[in-house]
Each structure stands twice: as C-alpha cells, then as structure tokens.
C-alpha cells in the first residue's frame, strides 16, 4: 500500500467534502493536508508507544516537531540527540508491524467516514 514515510493519497468524488475529511482525520491523530481540489495526503497516526498521536515527546513531554511526528518519532529533536535509543521501540524493532497496524487503522477511519456519509466516496491511491 504505502510506506510510513510516504503519505497515502485520498481522492474524493465530491470536492465540497474535502474539509470534512481533513477535520475527521485530524481528530483521529492523522496528519492530513489538502493537495488539490479533490485530493488529500494523509500520514497515519504513529503507533510507536502508548502516547502516540498526542504530539508530545515521550521523554520530556515537550512538543515533537511536525517533521518528526510524520516519521512516527515518539521523541523531540533534542531528546533524539541526547539519547537515541533510550525511549520507544528498540533499534531494528517491529517497525513494519507498526506501519501495517497504522495503515489498517487509517483504512478503518476511512471506512467509517464513508459509511457515515455515503455521498462522498474516497478512493485510495498507491
């Protein structure tokens, strides 16, 4: 489907519903951006640890930079530099499993959104 570093592209039949989809996905911890009139790029919410998706560093509690959140980092820039392996998954851990789980969760969000509003149809692009 996609890697955790690339966004998933979603195209809608009804361009008036793009704003609703963006709000829905963001409420569920996803990072979503409108790329044109009918398309949205979305990164699934990270599933690295129990605090994933709240945007706060697992080590110090400060805000994690947006670029690092997109990559699924549970730590802010400063904490990553101080202790690269101190918090989160062990090096070489189960990143593929987490990625599959995050994508499955995103697909579930999209199915629920489509079921609640049958007029707007989302199509996934790889």
Instruction: Give the residue from 96, 107, 124 showing the smallest Cα distance to 3.
Output: 96
Q: Which domains does the chain have, with CATH numbers?
A: 1-47+107-126 (3.30.70)
pLDDT per residue over 2-57, tens digit each?
A: 444 578 888 888 888 899 999 999 898 888 999 999 999 988 776 544 444 567 88
Which tokens hold the place of 43? 């990164």
Residue 121 has pLDDT above 60, yes or no: yes
Instruction: Decide which of 21 and 120 is more confident.
Output: 21
Average pLDDT over residues 66-84: 75
Residue 86 has pLDDT above 60, yes or no: no
Q: What is the pLDDT of residue 23?
A: 92
Q: DSSP labels for 48-111?
A: SSTTTTS-B-TTT-SBPPHHHHHTT-SS-HHHHHH-TTSSSSPTT-SHHHHHHHHHHHHHHHHH
- Give the CA dihedral 96, 90, 79, 74, nearest 10 degrees: 40
Averaged pLDDT score across all residues of the chain? 75
Residue 80 has pLDDT above 60, yes or no: yes
Residue 59 has pLDDT above 80, yes or no: no
- Name the DSSP class of 122: E
| Residue with tokens 């994690």, as numbered in its chain | 64
């Amino acid at each position: 489907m996609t890697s955790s570093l690339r966004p998933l592209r979603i195209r809608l039949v009804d361009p008036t519903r793009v704003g609703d989809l963006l709000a829905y996905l963001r409420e569920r911890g996803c990072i979503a951006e409108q790329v044109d009139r009918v398309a949205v790029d979305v990164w699934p919410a990270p599933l690295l640890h129990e605090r994933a998706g709240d945007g706060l560093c697992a080590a110090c509690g400060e805000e994690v930079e947006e670029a690092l959140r997109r990559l699924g980092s549970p730590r802010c820039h400063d904490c990553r530099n101080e202790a690269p392996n101190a918090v989160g998954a062990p090096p070489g851990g189960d990143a593929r499993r987490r990625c599959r789980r995050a994508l499955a969760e995103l697909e579930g969000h999209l199915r629920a959104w489509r079921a609640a509003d049958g007029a707007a149809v989302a199509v996934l692009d790889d």
